[in-house]
Structure 1
């Protein structure tokens, strides 16, 4: 097994590496990761700037990573895979690539499907243009499939860490259970006990996750603008990795994103006290992802940091916890180089 190269940058809890994810995975020890959470480039009809693979090759390409992921994942760990839907080329017919990934992961590679989730992005623009906007014969595609895979039947998980607020009706029931609720067997066969009226701090969430993707003025995007670059074009919102990191890991566990992009996963893991590892093949995307770990966005600091990160042969940059801005300003960056 190879060892990992020097990271592009590190933080208090994590490290970001530039390179091909498959090669970098081979540098990780067996059963060293608690959660692999990633959103790979989707199998879209048209080539995107972030390097998606053609639909015909996609399933084989993606499954090549799953073998190494299974090796590095702990027996109690989870692999969460976010996949967007797609249409067949030139036809108003859906591609089945994401379901083929699911079936082959389980049938050929021995993964378990712990549960399927669906990320609903209510803010997503109508697409695809041809079938939705022009011909108006399809509804807009606004839901991603998210497969939660595990190596065993009982991976680490605690749904009480991701409870959602009670509905107004449930709040009334909790305030006056005698008036609104009586324990009995329902027509569906569910036997509802008196404990149903106990306040448990929130409701169990469904496997439909309504999370808008509306980032428009974040520090990350402001910093990208300062250095004259565009943000990563396929970012997911922080609340998506936050849900699974809280649900499937404990403080101090290690989270890996093999297609890190702008490293939303790493930033959320850092904020939640989890160790994290990020792999990204595009060095410019990974360099800009460091903006997520700044305490504040000062233009001179941001430009200095970015120039150091993208400089050829630059040494590893350490982003320390806490006094980031003060340290940066000492020598035009709160960044130590080693």
Structure 2
């Protein structure tokens, strides 16, 4: 990957603990970008006066001023010497609300640097599935920011509304959320999930299909310091996250459990091979009955339960994080495991369907759709996350105006 000049300016500052004067900045950016000393110092007539200036040095200073206006660097008091601010050490580059810029594309999808509420307004194609894990309403905000719980319902509804208008009849919306949100200074859990469920039905006309449970065996527990440890022993540590599944037309829903069948157990296979049940029995006052010959038909697999057990980490995410760090990019703090996204996409969409992700993050939904032969469109407001996510696609064609990566 070849980074843009802005990348190099930003990375030079982020890798340097001490203040930088402009001449040092020029030299280090040139070294990173493969610019020779002759190219850096080549002068051309500039402006009405035609005074000879280095266009490359002017470009570097322009990017420097962009960082200044973003609050990332500040003067030290010495002329031409700048240093990173505290915010600059952790700040992400957020796109302006009025812009939507194609970052990169593949044969199946497109990633957009932009706000989902704008990017999806003029989409001229029907969406089969919206699959997202939006920022949770956490008290302690992550690097990408959070909306507080009081504003969360409006935030989610307004974000999804443009996509719901483009949803194909029988299309689905799945939202991975946190069950670990508490009332202020209380061990009582927030009712925001219930309020959001009702709002999505009443405001956007969606029908609740299921509350899927993502069982995360290795997921770190929630705010245990307050609710579960020390002097407070009020709560159990939670081990799952809910996934709300909605459709705009339940009778035409595109889901099909045949696409996600799992292998039979050894015991069940032996039962089929032996000709099925040999006994008669009634359970739960006749609600469940067993008769001779039951389970004798060979089938390709069994239907999964709505409790989905998938680890919170995966090989694909580890690769993404390692590559992002190699490129000196911040790593997304809450990526979804690729296996979970793949399961939901395969269950809820046929081959070739369009999958949309309004909060792209590390682009896991997009990658899952790509690998499963579904078309996709993803939006993300932070430039750095799109850069790291682009590295996950071997066939990405990057828009040169995105100023991120040359062709990969």
- State the TM-score, normalizing by the size of structure 2: 0.69
Which of 111, 133, 155 is the aligned partner of 1:16? 111
- Specify the alignment match of 1:142 in structure 2: 239
* 1:92 and 2:190 are equivalent in the alignment: no
SS in 2 for 1:293: coil
Aligned to 2:46: none
User: CA offset at residue 5 of structure 1?
Assistant: 4.3
CA contact (8 A) 1:79 1:149 kept: yes
Q: Distance in 2 between matches of 1:314 and 1:242?
A: 28
2:146 — aligned with what?
52
The 1-side partners of 2:278 and 2:379 are apart by 51
Question: Is the CA contact 1:25–1:69 (under 8 Å) kept in the aligned structure 2?
Answer: yes
CA 1:77–1:4 in structure 2 vs 1: closer, same or farther (change >3 Å)? Answer: farther
Match of 2:346 among 246, 263, 273: 246
- Compute the displacement of 1:228 (Å): 2.5
Root-mean-square deviation (CA, aligned residues, Å) is: 2.5
The structure showing larger relative contact order (alpha-carbon pairs under 8 Å, at least 6 residues apart) is: 1
Change (3 A) 1:106 1:113: same
Match of 1:208 in 2: 307
Structure 1 runs not aligned, ≥5 long: 296-304, 318-332
Does the C-alpha gap of structure 1 residues 42 and 192 become closer, same or farther in structure 2, counting only changes over 3 Å? Answer: same
In our comparison, the structure showing a higher alpha carbon Rg is: 2
Alignment of 1:76 with 2:176, yes or no, is no
**What secondary structure does 2:392 align onto?**
helix
- Partner of 1:7, secondary structure, is strand
| 8 A contact 1:237–1:264 mirrored in 2 | yes
Structure 2 counterpart of 1:268, from 362, 368, 376: 368
Report the secondary structure of 1:231's partner residue: coil
Q: Which whole-Å deviations, capped at 9, do the CAs of 1:92-125 have from their partners, x for residues lacking one?
A: 1101111110012113332111222111111011
Q: Indicate how the Cα distance of structure 1 residues 129 and 185 shifts in structure 2: closer, same or farther if over 3 A, else same.
A: closer
TM-score, normalised via structure 1 length:
0.82
Give 1:36 shift.
Answer: 0.6
Contact persistence 1:269–1:276 (CA under 8 A):
yes
The 8 Å contact of residues 7 and 316 in structure 1, kept in 2 or not, is answered as: no
2:228 equivalent in structure 1 = 132
**Partner residue in 2 for 1:221:** 321
Q: What residue number does 2:73 align with?
A: none
Contact 1:173/1:181 (<8 A) preserved: no
Match of 2:393 in 1: 293
Contact 1:164–1:202, Cα closer than 8 Å, also in 2? yes
- Alpha carbons of 1:141 and 1:186: their partners in 2 closer, same or farther (altered >3 Å)? closer
- Cα distance in 2 for partners of 1:248, 1:215 equals 22
Q: Specify which of 186, 195, 199 is matched with residue 104 of structure 1.
A: 199
Report the Cα offset of residue 206 of structure 1.
0.7
What's the CA shift string for 1:145-181, capped at 9, x where partnerless? 1111111122111101111222333233223245x55
- Aligned to 2:378, the other structure's residue is in SS state strand
Counterpart in the other structure of 1:33: 127
State the partner residue of 1:231: 331
- In structure 1, what is the equivalent of residue 378 of structure 2? 278
Instruction: Say whether residues 1:258 and 2:346 are aligned partners.
Output: no
- My pick for the range that moved more, 107-116 or 69-78, is 107-116
Looking at structure 1, the residues matched to 341 and 385 of structure 2 have their Cα atoms a distance apart, in angstroms, of 19
Uncovered stretches (5+) of structure 2, i.e. residues with no partner: 1-97
Instruction: Name the counterpart of 2:402.
Output: 314
